[in-house]
Structure 1
Amino acid sequence: MAIFKGAGVAIATPMKENLEVNYDKLDEMLEEQIAGGTDAIVICGTTGESATMTEEEHAATIRFAIERVNHRIPVIAGTGSNCTRTAIQLSKEAQEDGADGLLLVTPYYNKATQNGLIAHYTAICNEVNIPAILYNVPSRTGCGLQPQTVATLVKDVENIVGIKEASGNISTVAQIMHLCDGNVDLYSGNDDQVVPLLALGGIGVISVLSNVAPAYVHDMCYKFFSGDIAGSRKMQLDALPLVNALFCEVNPIPVKAALNMMGKEVGTLRAPLTEMEDAHKEVLKKAMMDLGIL
């Protein structure tokens, strides 16, 4: 059984003025996501600024989300690392704290070989028994999962159940689904390709857009599942200007700006990320207004 179906939010991490994690604000954001129909919380992913968290902060933020959500919807912990030992430690802690699943990004900077990726993921998943989702985002990590590697891992490692595909390459996604014979839970990692990946057998998205439009992304998925392909496609296309604005600067710069425009007061970003440029803010604001978010 899949960890979740539909729209999982890659939730941003709110910060105080001193750049500590703002847990009170995170509590509010979690409640708003659940009320908005989000199907799963993905905590401490790329959008959550996990790369600039200490291991202690990382574990504490995951634990907080699990406790506050309290089994109402699944919580998936981003526990990937470019260090296999660190990924194992974070994954074991997340399992002990009650995570429903793990999101494991490919090792960044090291740029492992395909054999290295197989060894890396196998080592992590042999230390836990909750389901894991591979995360393929070579534009950020410099390291991509090849379709045959995905198929090998899904076949040989029992608790590797899915993949968040953010390569942007539809042909790669199709080849993954072909080699896995559909026996993998496919999630879009790109908000502009949700419907195309659903058409290839996907079961949902791990979404940045859901931070600002949780009901919209949930409904787009479930229109597709219910057979209203035209309706789902229209929602996908209507959202493109906002999706483009949310990625006109590196994620999560725009989405935190968007949340602050909405009055969510999620704070600023940790260096080396900086505030969004004013010209881009105007484009983002207009896109949000056009979709009825502002």
Structure 2
Amino acid sequence: MPDNANPAAWLAGCIPDLPTPFDERGAVDLAAFARLCERQIKADVPAIVVCETAGEASTLTPEDQDSIIRAAVEVARGRIRVIAGAGSNSTSQAIELTQRAEAAGADAVLSVVPYYNKPMQAGIHAHFRAIAISTALPIILHDIPSRTIRELSDDTLAGLAESRQFIGLRDGTGDIARLARLRQRLPTGFRLLSGDDATALAFVAGGGDGSISLVSNVAPRLCQAVYLNCRKGRLPSARYLQSRLAPLTASLVRESPAALKYALGLLGLMRPDTRLPIVELDELAKREVADAIAEIGDDEDLACPIERRHGPRLPEVSAATS
């Protein structure tokens, strides 16, 4: 379907939710961030997500977010889409972040259900409608009740999707049965993406359009292969590839984004530093991440085949190399 018929046609496949690298002083490391972006572009991802869950958005200043989005846009140069996280539990702040993302050149925003406030569904609907009025950018909704307490109900989603400005949903519920319910109620061009790596294959096999993924940061080509095999009907191949990723998925989601940053540090792509209240992994968690990476260390996706260089036991890494 051409883009002019479905403006969300590009929103499909395995899309990484990028972390935000910090330098030894705790400032945003834009050089390392650019490397992460370029690596994903070379893996042929359709888009990248920045300043969202994996990006420690709640610890970023508006100026941090501006610089990250602008850096992503500059690296992308139109080769892929840049989706900027712009959510908040304050509607006015979400509007400000959305407008700043638009000014920085983002192609779309990802906006999460307001957290902590526990708004009623009418308030959630009004929140997202106010954001939509404030911008010309397409909006992807993010439903992740484990973090927000309140869910985005099917009725609220269907009402919002009547506007073509709302182009998709990142569904972090892990509820595969929901997919069939939603397809009957949403416009044909509305995109449904899993926000849960553990159930992403089942989601796509059930008719989903793709996923927004943590694991894709570490193994982008392998994640893309899972998606493409599934969409082409080669489910045994997709399941086999997914099984290779299972230990990595389990190790990353347990303590994200600290585990993700440690994994990318082992690959020499960035420092593993986080901002409080997130702290570094304990030694057991580090070993689980290292062992999970070693299991797929021969895959062509990995930037540096650690196991080949260092043997079966991986070294501790405190800082990324350039």
Both proteins in one fold, TM over 0.5:
yes
| Cα-to-partner distance string for 1:117-160 (whole Å, 9 max, x where unaligned) | 100011101221221110011111222111111111102x2200
**Are the equivalent residues in 1 in contact too, given 2:205–2:231 (CA < 8 A)?**
no
In the other structure, the counterpart of 1:272 is: 277
SS at match of 1:37: coil
| Cα-to-partner distance string for 1:91-130 (whole Å, 9 max, x where unaligned) | 1222222211111111111121111110001110122122
**Are the equivalent residues in 2 in contact too, given 1:17–1:267 (CA < 8 A)?**
no
In the other structure, the counterpart of 2:169 is: 163
The reply on whether 1:12 has 2:16 as its aligned counterpart is no
Q: Quick one: which amino acid aligns to residue 216 of structure 1?
A: L
**Are the equivalent residues in 2 in contact too, given 1:13–1:266 (CA < 8 A)?**
no
In the other structure, the counterpart of 2:247 is: 241
Distance 1:270 1:240, change over 3 A: same
**Are the equivalent residues in 2 in contact too, given 1:88–1:124 (CA < 8 A)?**
yes
Find the partner of 2:86 among 69, 79, 87: 79
SS at match of 1:206: strand
- Structure 1 residue ranges, 4+ long, deviating more than 6 angstroms after superposition: none
**Are the equivalent residues in 2 in contact too, given 1:192–1:236 (CA < 8 A)?**
no
Q: Quick one: which amino acid aligns to residue 277 of structure 2?
A: P
Percent same amino acid at aligned positions? 35
**Which shows bigger deviation, 57-66 or 115-124?**
57-66
Q: Quick one: which amino acid aligns to residue 163 of structure 1?
A: L
**Are the equivalent residues in 2 in contact too, given 1:43–1:76 (CA < 8 A)?**
yes
The CA deviation at 1:171 is 2.5
Find the partner of 1:195 among 201, 205, 208: 201
| Cα-to-partner distance string for 1:33-59 (whole Å, 9 max, x where unaligned) | 111222211010110011101122122
Alignment of 1:26-175 (within 5 A): 26-155=33-162, 157-175=163-181
Q: Which of 1 and 2 has greater Rg?
A: 2
Between the aligned partners of 2:15 and 2:111, the Cα distance in structure 1 is: 15
Q: Quick one: which amino acid aligns to residue 160 of structure 2?
A: L
In the other structure, the counterpart of 1:207 is: 213
Q: Quick one: which amino acid aligns to residue 114 of structure 2?
A: P
**Unaligned stretches of 5+ residues in structure 1:** none
In the other structure, the counterpart of 2:316 is: none
SS at match of 1:233: helix
Q: Quick one: which amino acid aligns to residue 221 of structure 2?
A: A
Between the aligned partners of 2:200 and 2:272, the Cα distance in structure 1 is: 29
**Are the equivalent residues in 1 in contact too, given 2:179–2:207 (CA < 8 A)?**
no
Between the aligned partners of 1:132 and 1:46, the Cα distance in structure 2 is: 16
| Cα-to-partner distance string for 1:201-237 (whole Å, 9 max, x where unaligned) | 2111111001111111111111122222221122223
**Which shows bigger deviation, 125-134 or 180-189?**
180-189
Distance 1:55 1:147, change over 3 A: same
TM, length-normalised to structure 2: 0.87
Between the aligned partners of 1:10 and 1:239, the Cα distance in structure 2 is: 17
**Are the equivalent residues in 2 in contact too, given 1:148–1:176 (CA < 8 A)?**
no
**Unaligned stretches of 5+ residues in structure 2:** 1-5, 307-322
**Are the equivalent residues in 1 in contact too, given 2:70–2:104 (CA < 8 A)?**
yes
The reply on whether 1:253 has 2:258 as its aligned counterpart is yes
Q: Which has the higher contact order (CA 8 A, sep 6+)?
A: 1
